[in-house]
Amino acid sequence: MDLSSRELRQITRLQEALLNIRLDRGRIGDLLAKVATLVQAKAAMGAWLDGGVPIIVTHRAGPEIEAYFARVFDGVDVEGNLRATDPDLDRINLSRRRLGSGVYHENVLAERESVTRAAYFQEAFAPAGMHHVIGMTTRLAVGESLFAFGFEGDDDPGFVSGRTETLLRLLLPAFSFGFSAIDRAHRHQERLDKAIAEARVSATVNKLAINGSNNGGDGAGKPLIQLPLPELSGEEGGQLQISLGALELEDLAAALAQRFALSPRQRETAELMLRGLTSREIARQLGVRMNTARRHCEAVLHKAGVGRRDQLALLSLSELVEH
């Protein structure tokens, strides 16, 4: 198939937009409309899952599709498939997701006669102006992302010529990358939220501006440690980081004592080490000779299996977070 220079420019722009897609109904609706124009579709719909809820956007299609999908949605099964109370739609959804990411002509998923008899066609797709459908889909950890394009008649050039499938295959890698990146970021966010909720450490997620300054937090003191979150980088530039707030060092020492069976004196020594005191200062705090304080410090490091005090600090933090 020969493509004009104008079509090649359109495809390039669409690929770039799909690579950087965000879960914004307006933006995705605009992208859907541009792809529909490229493939000369009469109508189009896009679908994805956001927070466990199916989201539908349409282009030149009636409201019937969105209303029907909301009515028959029946949750997600253990394999991550979206289920529907309409058995015909449920069967097509399962078949399409099992086939994986790709470009699919409706004939691949069901015979035409069974399509026209199905409730989803009679109550949603036909009234919405999507009599024949070709789509591209990306399988995600839960559900899938889908752009489907509707054509009017059996002899509609966009439906029968193979041109639509060819154009969509050119866009599919960018489409899959963009939605998969969003899916990964959401799963990272879910794990991060769970870890913060379960940890005994005060933690906040802040956004770093491009110049490295911190745009989040209340500025109340320097955090104990800051860790970058590259998988959750901000949309408008800069990166996100998690800041673990100031902790009670006695809690860190207690975590070490519990994990490594430190004696009461060793626990006290560990807390002083975490405070950054030298062996001489620890000896003064404990009221012992410096050699005795040094032996206490060595015993703490030995039991914890580390060789340096900075390693002891990181180890104590990990113990507190994980337990």
Q: Which of 66-80, 129-143, 193-207 has the lowest mean pLDDT?
A: 193-207
pLDDT, residue 203, reads: 61
Q: Which of 64-68, 92-96, 126-130, 190-194 has the lowest mean pLDDT?
A: 190-194
User: Considering the entire predicted model, what is its pTM?
Assistant: 0.67
What tokens were used for 234? 């901000």
Q: Kindly state whether residues 318 and 229 are assigned to the same domain.
A: no
For residues 110 and 95, give the distance between their C-alpha atoms in angstroms, rounded to a whole number: 9
Please say if the pLDDT value at position 68 is more than 50. Answer: yes
Q: Kindly state whether residues 93 and 43 are assigned to the same domain.
A: yes
Report, as an integer, the average pLDDT of 289-308.
93
What tokens were used for 35? 């792809």
For residues 43 and 76, the answer to whether their CB atoms sit within 8 Å is no
Instruction: Let me know if residue 193 belongs to a domain.
Output: no
Q: Choose between 274 and 73: higher pLDDT.
A: 73
Q: In CATH, what number is assigned to the domain containing residue 96?
A: 3.30.450.80
Q: Choose between 236 and 53: higher pLDDT.
A: 53
pLDDT, residue 243, reads: 55
Report, as an integer, the average pLDDT of 43-54.
88
pLDDT band at 196 (very low <50, low <70, confident <90, very high): low
Give percent of the chain above pLDDT 90.
59
Helix, coil or strand: residue 156: coil
Q: Which of 78-92, 168-182, 242-256 has the lowest mean pLDDT?
A: 242-256
Report, as an integer, the average pLDDT of 159-186.
92
Cα angle, residue 191 at apex, residues 190 and 196 outer, rounded to 5°: 100
pLDDT, residue 208, reads: 54
For residues 10 and 302, give the distance between their C-alpha atoms in angstroms, rounded to a whole number: 64
Instruction: Let me know if residue 122 belongs to a domain.
Output: yes
Q: How many domains does the chain have?
A: 3
- Say what angle helices 309-322 and 249-260 make with each other, to 10 degrees: 90
Report, as an integer, the average pLDDT of 92-117.
93
Q: Kindly state whether residues 37 and 102 are assigned to the same domain.
A: yes
Neighbours of 258 (CB within 10 A): 12
Helix, coil or strand: residue 284: helix
**What amino acid is encoded at 128 in this protein?**
A
Q: Note down the domain range covering 315.
A: 249-322
Instruction: Let me know if residue 20 belongs to a domain.
Output: yes
Q: Which of 187, 217, 236 is the last residue of a domain?
A: 187
Instruction: Let me know if residue 194 belongs to a domain.
Output: no
Q: Which of 140, 164, 187 is the last residue of a domain?
A: 187
Please say if the pLDDT value at position 178 is more than 90. Answer: yes
pLDDT, residue 223, reads: 47
User: What is the sign of the dihedral through the CA atoms of 88, 89, 94 and 97?
Assistant: positive
| Mean confidence (pLDDT) of the chain | 84
pLDDT, residue 228, reads: 54
For residues 173 and 175, give the distance between their C-alpha atoms in angstroms, rounded to a whole number: 5
Q: In CATH, what number is assigned to the domain containing residue 280?
A: 1.10.10.10
For residues 245 and 221, give the distance between their C-alpha atoms in angstroms, rounded to a whole number: 9
pLDDT, residue 136, reads: 97
For residues 188 and 137, give the distance between their C-alpha atoms in angstroms, rounded to a whole number: 22
Q: Choose between 202 and 187: higher pLDDT.
A: 187
Q: Kindly state whether residues 166 and 203 are assigned to the same domain.
A: no
Q: Kindly state whether residues 143 and 232 are assigned to the same domain.
A: no
Report, as an integer, the average pLDDT of 209-233.
48
Report, as an integer, the average pLDDT of 213-237.
49
What tokens were used for 13? 């722009």
**What are the CA-CA distances from residue 49 to residues 16, 120, 193 (Å)?**
22, 19, 19
Neighbours of 4 (CB within 10 A): 8
